[in-house]
Structure 1
Amino acid sequence: MSQPKPQVLFISADRIGDAIMSIGAIREIGRQIPDAEITVAVGPPAAALFRAAPNVVKVIPWKKQKLSGHWRTLWKQAVGTHWAMVADVRGSVMSFFLKADQRRLYSRKLEKGEMKVVTFSNMMKAAKTAEPEIFLDDKARADAAAIIGTDPSPILAMAPISTAADRSWPADRWAELTQKLMNEPRFDGWRFMPVGGPGDHAAAAPALAVAGDRGIDAVGKCDILGSAALLQRATLFVGNDSGLMHVSAAAGTPTLGLFGPSEWWHKAPYGPKGRVLAAAPVRGEFAPITALSVDQVFAEVLALYDTFARSGR
């Protein structure tokens, strides 16, 4: 009679960006506990990121409830299992009381000024950095193909939104940037693809209007894994400090992140193809994202092109 496989509970983040920065835990769990079956509890916006992840047998889209009712809901689903490991990026009290052979819990003590990807890796006691990764499936690829179509032209993807207004570069500047890029010889024949969720149409509309028939409207057209497939198809990406910025970097697309009053030194797009343009480029200082001019962003997009697209990716 075969032995039951070890069960692991991974409590991920509510937001897409944090979920991506900690998603390397999936591979790391497999390295530390071979043959583990992983249950992921994650905020609904990020849930699709895990549906095709290796060894994930269950995804709990964990919606916040009043009076911390979401914790009680998760407790009821988790308390009856003896877990080989509980890995919790939220560092919740609940994780101390579940039956578990090993615990990997987030704590402020882990924060030592490093990038959050590194901090999450240290939480997992990983031997090396647990790098973000995108796990695509056929549905995500099909969703992306339906939006992009058969035109083989290179694509500049854009994320003109963020979860906070003070992290969002103004919509009219995205339109100005698009116009400048369309007039730039380097981008002859390129298409321009704003990506976002169902509520992001207003932020993307000015850029799409400027792009005209060279625009691809990918706003609110698919879930986050479909958006990841879109970004993997893109040649370059520029966007606000947002979950989509982290998705783009994890997908391997050369990524320029625009930062205003947020900690770019912790949350820069991770990997060798990630670049940052910060309104306050000195670590520890902050400035509004509106301090970034169209000319500054345009110049950094050209630099991204020259580094990664001039002779192909």
Structure 2
Amino acid sequence: MKRILFITSTRIGDAVINSGVLDYLVRQWPDAKFTVACGPLAQPVLENTPGLERLIIVRKKSFGLHWLGLWRRVVFQHWDLIVDLRGSAIAYLLAANTRKVLRSTKVKMHKVREAAGVLRLDPPPEPRLYLPEEARQRALQWIPPGRDWLAVCPSASLPFKMWPATHFAELVKTLVSPGGAMAGAGVVIVGGPGDEPHAEPILAALPDNGVVDLTGKLYLSDVAAIVERARLFIGNDSGVMHISAAMGTPTLGLFGPSDEMLYGPYGEQCATVRGPRGLEATKSEFPDWRQHPSSLLDDLRVEAVIGAAERLLERTEKPD
């Protein structure tokens, strides 16, 4: 029986981006036993992988000691294949028939394509997540069938990636109000613990529309099941945005100082929008952008996002 060690990211978004390679391996060797090593944040999006024998949570430690801890847990197994998308040296310290280790390249390409390059897969397999059926059943209870749903995530891991929450409120109200592109649709808000303040302007803008606010209330696989049912997802550059794209939901990503050519939501059902300032001008104007304490998407107008959402709705299909 083939045993495969798959090493992926700590961050949610990067782990989702890498999930297409893992899905390819699952489909290529459906009888294989997989050991997946990832960070704790990524656990919920990988723990239902078919053929999963072990899920090893790698918690970062000083001086790279987390790699030593991982090595100790996998060194006594002979691996048929090791795929390391973290680009570490650990694969060369283990017994294996084949090792595939991601190496950085100066060629600018989407991170999905870069990950696929470790196995020379072209076209690259699209990210895919596996969910337990119970998560989908819970999603039906939170956002029942019978109407379209607009899912939004107005938060992100860092403040400079966040479009102002008041803009989100204006956007959502326009889209679901009479005459809007999603008139009459239900609205569901998702996000992690601590993101609740970003939902408040949307709730205030639609006090009588029965907005379902699930911010900070769900396990990540439940979030994936929620966005899977949406007609449209709109969110900042975040792990939830990548989850939405991986679930096949029409996904509109809002970008500022991060590069959509590398990190945009991936797939035919996806689109991105940014303000007129542009990527390079944003980084030039804000040289401290990685530590900037507030939004760097202030030049992105609500009208531009509405237009991008309308175009995405026109060319995509409603999910089953």
Q: String of CA shifts for 1:60-94, please: whole Å, max 9, x gaps.
A: 22222334332222111111111111111110122
State the percentage of identical aligned residues. Answer: 34
Q: Secondary structure at the match of 1:196?
A: coil
1:293 pairs with 2:289:
no
Equivalent-residue separation in structure 2 for 1:312 and 1:79 (angstroms): 44
Say if 1:127 and 1:8 are closer, same or farther in 2 by CA, change over 3 A: same
Report 1:143-162 matches (<5 A). Answer: 143-148=138-143, 150=144, 152-162=146-156
Match of 1:302 among 303, 310, 314: 310
Match of 1:11 in 2: 7
1:268 pairs with 2:276:
no
1:92 pairs with 2:92:
no
Q: Secondary structure at the match of 2:88?
A: coil
1:63 pairs with 2:71:
no
- The Cα shift of 1:123 comes to 1.0
CA contact (8 A) 1:263 1:284 kept: no
Report 1:234-245 matches (<5 A). Answer: 234-245=230-241
The answer for unaligned runs of 5 or more in structure 2 is 284-295
Equivalent-residue separation in structure 1 for 2:281 and 2:99 (angstroms): 35
Report 1:1-313 matches (<5 A). Answer: 5-30=1-26, 33=29, 35-109=31-105, 111-148=106-143, 150=144, 152-185=146-179, 186-212=181-207, 213-279=209-275, 286=282, 288-308=296-316
CA contact (8 A) 1:279 1:286 kept: no
- The Cα shift of 1:302 comes to 2.1
Equivalent-residue separation in structure 1 for 2:258 and 2:162 (angstroms): 11
Equivalent-residue separation in structure 2 for 1:44 and 1:227 (angstroms): 16
Amino acid at match of 1:162: A
Equivalent-residue separation in structure 1 for 2:145 and 2:17 (angstroms): 32
- The Cα shift of 1:282 comes to 6.0
Q: String of CA shifts for 1:236-285, please: whole Å, max 9, x gaps.
A: 01110111111111111111100000111111111111101023586755
Amino acid at match of 1:83: W
Say if 1:285 and 1:117 are closer, same or farther in 2 by CA, change over 3 A: farther
Equivalent-residue separation in structure 1 for 2:222 and 2:42 (angstroms): 12
* Number of aligned residues: 306
Say if 1:254 and 1:72 are closer, same or farther in 2 by CA, change over 3 A: same
Equivalent-residue separation in structure 1 for 2:140 and 2:171 (angstroms): 26
Equivalent-residue separation in structure 2 for 1:285 and 1:229 (angstroms): 37
Say if 1:75 and 1:162 are closer, same or farther in 2 by CA, change over 3 A: same
CA contact (8 A) 2:276 2:300 kept: no
Q: String of CA shifts for 1:162-207, please: whole Å, max 9, x gaps.
A: 1121111011111122222233423322111111111211112211
CA contact (8 A) 2:242 2:266 kept: yes
Say if 1:101 and 1:201 are closer, same or farther in 2 by CA, change over 3 A: same
Say if 1:245 and 1:312 are closer, same or farther in 2 by CA, change over 3 A: closer
CA contact (8 A) 1:190 1:214 kept: no
Equivalent-residue separation in structure 1 for 2:141 and 2:187 (angstroms): 16
Equivalent-residue separation in structure 1 for 2:304 and 2:95 (angstroms): 53
CA contact (8 A) 2:150 2:186 kept: yes
Say if 1:132 and 1:298 are closer, same or farther in 2 by CA, change over 3 A: same
Say if 1:21 and 1:280 are closer, same or farther in 2 by CA, change over 3 A: farther
Equivalent-residue separation in structure 2 for 1:166 and 1:203 (angstroms): 14
Say if 1:178 and 1:127 are closer, same or farther in 2 by CA, change over 3 A: closer
The answer for unaligned runs of 5 or more in structure 1 is none
Match of 2:293 in 1: none
Q: Secondary structure at the match of 1:175?
A: helix
CA RMSD of aligned residues (A): 2.1
Of stretches 118-127 and 223-232 in structure 1, the one that deviates more from structure 2 is: 118-127
Say if 1:230 and 1:34 are closer, same or farther in 2 by CA, change over 3 A: closer
Of stretches 247-256 and 292-301 in structure 1, the one that deviates more from structure 2 is: 292-301
Equivalent-residue separation in structure 1 for 2:6 and 2:268 (angstroms): 27
Q: Detail structure 1 runs of 4+ shifted over 6 Å in the superposition.
A: none
Say if 1:71 and 1:143 are closer, same or farther in 2 by CA, change over 3 A: farther
Say if 1:306 and 1:214 are closer, same or farther in 2 by CA, change over 3 A: farther
Match of 2:287 in 1: none
Amino acid at match of 2:41: P
TM-score (normalised: structure 2): 0.88
